[in-house]
Amino acid sequence: MNAAAKSKNVFADVLERVRGAATPLLAPDTDFSRVLVEPPRDPTHGDMATNAAMVLAKDAGKKPRDLAEAIGANLRSDDIVEKVEIAGPGFINLTLKSHVWAEELRRVLRGGADYGRSDIGKREKVNVEYVSANPTGPMHVGHCRGAVFGDALANLLTFADFDVTREYYINDAGAQVDVLARSAYLRYREALGENIGQIPEGLYPGDYLKPVGEALAAEHGGALVGKPESEWLQIARAKAIAMMMAAIRADLAALNVSQDAFFSERSLIAGGKDQVAATIDELRARGEVYQGRLPPPKGGAAEDWEDREQTLFRSTDFGDDVDRPLMKSDGSYTYFASDIAYHKSKFDRGFLHMIDVWGADHGGYIKRMQAAVKAVSGGKADLDVKIIQLVKLLRAGEPVKMSKRAGEFVTLREVVDEVGRDAVRFMMLYRKNDAVLDFDLAKVIEQSRDNPVFYVQYAHARGESVFRNAREMLPDLPRAAAERAAMLQGARIERLSDSGELSLMRRIAAFPRVIEAAAVAHEPHRIAFYLYELASEFHALWTRGKDLPHLRFIIQNDPETTKARLALVQGIVTVLASGLALLGVSAPEEMR
RNA sequence: GACCCCGUAGCUCAGUUGGAUAGAGCAUCAGCCUUCUAAGCUGAGGGUCGCAGGUUCGAAUCCUGCCGGGGUCGCCA
């Protein structure tokens, strides 16, 4: 019977009540989709504000303020509404009875790690493709932002009830893996005792290929020496790719990133079944692939431009600027051609939602890929491409130099080893994906407010510390979070009346909204910012207990008040831990 | 020349998908530790949201045009 218990959270509940209050005043088929219930920026405007009257005024044929008064009058009799105020152009500001917030906090304690889960995903399948670094060497620091982003986004979508597959596309078919094979072959000869001298220009110079050479030597002895490339290339390539992928997976594991599916580009054309050709033929049959000529690029002098007829995909039919070539001049497929076949495979595997996480230099590629997804799926599937901007690696404000030419780059492993997984992950998510990120190795291990990783983790540890201290007074307070939460559900939360406490209860209650908004927008950074704000408010309330002892969480001769406040702390700790878990960052019990 | 992204406080950045008087951190200045972790907190100053139009009850947010920065532009992935 209690509507609040049925709905997912207070915001959804209040929205229902606003609709209920407005419906009798409107035509039966009124569209409520633009009606929002939000926490107002200014707390003096109450707990909730709705734009209902302003959005619906036109349909109702009334002035916004008049309609607001009418809706407000109906809301005033609602049993969870304390106060209704009409403000500005027609906002309806609601103050809710305080038991509403106590109820919501109990819901947090009941839900534990599940609080904030959403059902908006409806178990729909979504494919999140990320990292997809070429298997030609270890992961370097530039890869880790996309890795962390994709991983956190996948966590978030899972939490919002999508059926998520985390995928890695292995570019094991292009010319660069042949270069890898030749580089490994050279290391193979070296492993057999040959002096290979300087690594020639055009081959990968890094030492990380030595183990591949040694493995080849151990496996094949001298059998491959002096043979033509055609006899060893495949062998060296397969070995090198397998070993590089193993290294990459180990690097990703160090970041706590794991993926479900590793899709090989080579598999598209292997086994006598050329799926790239098949995809192109299919599109050609539908008139979306044709032989034609492209205009030369404008602006540039285009000296080596050679006008020729080629195989083109009609991406302009799907919103792209020009049609895109599918074959190189030597008759092989372009990367785009295999990418179309690859995305078709995602569609064939049942994914109607695809998310690709790409580096910033691929921005110009988005439209054609979205066009291709529309084409191969007959408009049924959608592709969102998240562009991950560069990371500027700094140390105490100074850029960290790296020379790719000398084969020296900062590896992902080095960074994780130096500052820790949590710092890397949190900082990579503490910026919108399309903004350049400064990553300062010195700053992220600082233990200060300047370092958001520390600041948020510290809030969690502080909360846990309260429980440790409270146990002196309440010896039966359980250590395990779930049992403790169960016990604290019985606390008299209604007696919490300080504005800081109430404000924290509202902040906690906003978590499900943040989850949904972040999931819909594919923006995990919103969780990081939310956690920072929650931590900040908790630190503030904590310190107020210094000046005002009656506001401390633990009140020596008042177990009832103490329990009520511990319930609040439990709510804070629960949401902090679950938000951090979505980001893949640990929630420590203490910071020492 | 075309397309994409960015432009918000001195610096680094958020801004709840169009809401009310635009917010944090750093830096600057002024304060708070016999007490639950001062690894923290409170307050002050600091803004023509790049510029100009438009859409509407209402624009940092949407549209158009400029300005500035970055990226991309048949054969690399």
- Rounded to whole angstroms, the distance from the CA of residue A112 to the C1' of nucleotide B5 is 39
Average pLDDT over residues A321-340: 91
- Residue A301 reports pLDDT greater than 80: no
Flag whether A418 is in a domain. Answer: no
Q: Which residues of A336-362 are buried (b: 16+ CB within 10 A; e: fewer)?
A: bbbbbbbbbbbbeeebebbbbbbbeee
Does any strand B atom come closer than 7 Å to the Cβ of A328? yes
Q: How far is the CA of A210 from the C1' of B76 (A)?
A: 26
Q: How do beta strands A353-359 and A37-38 pair?
A: unpaired
Q: Closest nucleotide to A359's CA, by C1' atom?
A: B71
For the cut 60, the answer to whether the pLDDT of residue A428 exceeds it is yes
Q: Is A106 a member of any domain?
A: no
Q: What range does the domain containing A39 cover?
A: 3-96
The tally of domains found in chain A comes to 1
Which residues 174 to 193 of A reach strand B, CB within 7 A?
A: 174-176
Q: Residue A1 CA to B23 C1' — how many Å? A: 40
C-alpha to C-alpha distance for A446 and A442, rounded to whole angstroms: 7
CA of A74 to C1' of B57 (A): 23
Residues 433-492 of A with CB under 7 A from strand B: 434-438, 447-450, 454-455, 458, 461-462, 465-466, 468-469
Give, as ranges, the nucleotides of chain B with any atom within 7 Å of a protein CB: 1-6, 12-17, 19-27, 32, 35-42, 57-58, 70-77
- Asked if A151 CB < 7 A from strand B, the reply is no
Nucleotide nearest to A38 (CA to C1'): B16
A422: helix, strand or coil: helix
Opening angle at CA A523, ends A248 and A337, nearest 5: 55
Give yes or no for CB of A525 within 7 Å of strand B: yes
Distance A434 CA to B70 C1' (A): 12
Quick: pLDDT tens for A210-235: 999 999 999 999 999 999 999 999 99
Q: Does A4 have pLDDT greater than 50?
A: no
Q: Is the CB of A72 under 7 A from strand B?
A: no
Tokens standing for residue A52: 């209902």
Strand, helix or coil for residue A340 = helix
A300 touches strand B (CB under 7 A): yes
Percent over 70 (pLDDT), chain A: 96
Q: Report whether A545 contacts A551 (CB < 8 A).
A: yes
From the CA of A239 to the C1' of B25: give the distance in Å: 49
The pLDDT value given to residue A154: 97
List pLDDT tens digits, range A37-88.
988 888 888 899 999 999 998 888 888 899 999 999 999 999 999 999 998 8
Reduced 3-state DSSP string for A474-537: CCCCCCCHHHHHHHHCCCCHHHCCCHHHHHHHHHHHCHHHHHHHHHHHCCCHHHHHHHHHHHHH
- Mean pLDDT confidence for A304-333: 88
pLDDT at position A94 is 94
Tell whether A368 is covered by a domain: no
Selected residue with higher pLDDT from A319 and A289: A289
Q: How confident is the model at residue A313 (pLDDT cuts 50, 70, 90)?
A: very high
Nucleotide closest in space to A554 (CA vs C1'):
B36
pLDDT at site A403: 53
Residues 6+ apart with CB under 8 A from A352: A124, A125, A377, A380, A381, A382
Q: Name the nt closest to A328 by C-alpha to C1'.
A: B75
A137 within a domain of the structure (yes/no): no
Contact criterion met (CB below 8 Å) for A244 and A187: no
CA atoms A106, A111, A114, A118: torsion sign = negative
Q: What is the pTM of this model?
A: 0.95
Using the CA of A435, give the nucleotide whose C1' is nearest: B6
The mean pLDDT of chain A is: 91
Q: Would you say residue A83 lies in a domain?
A: yes
pLDDT in tens, A518-541: 999 999 999 999 999 999 999 999
Domain membership flag for residue A29: yes
What's the helix, strand, coil split of chain A in %, to 5?
55, 15, 35
- Structure-token match 């893996």, residue found: A177
Protein-to-nucleotide distance from the CA of A334 to the C1' of B4, whole angstroms: 22
Structural domain includes residue A195: no
CATH number of A66's domain: 3.30.1360.70
Query: A572 with A459: CB under 8 angstroms?
Result: yes
- Identify, with chain letter, the residue nearest to nucleotide B1 (CA–C1'): A299
Query: Does A359 contact strand B, using a CB cutoff of 7 Å?
Result: no
Tell me: pLDDT of A188 over 80.
Answer: yes
CB of residue A70 closer than 7 A to nucleic acid strand B?
no
The gap between A409 CA and B17 C1' (Å) is: 39
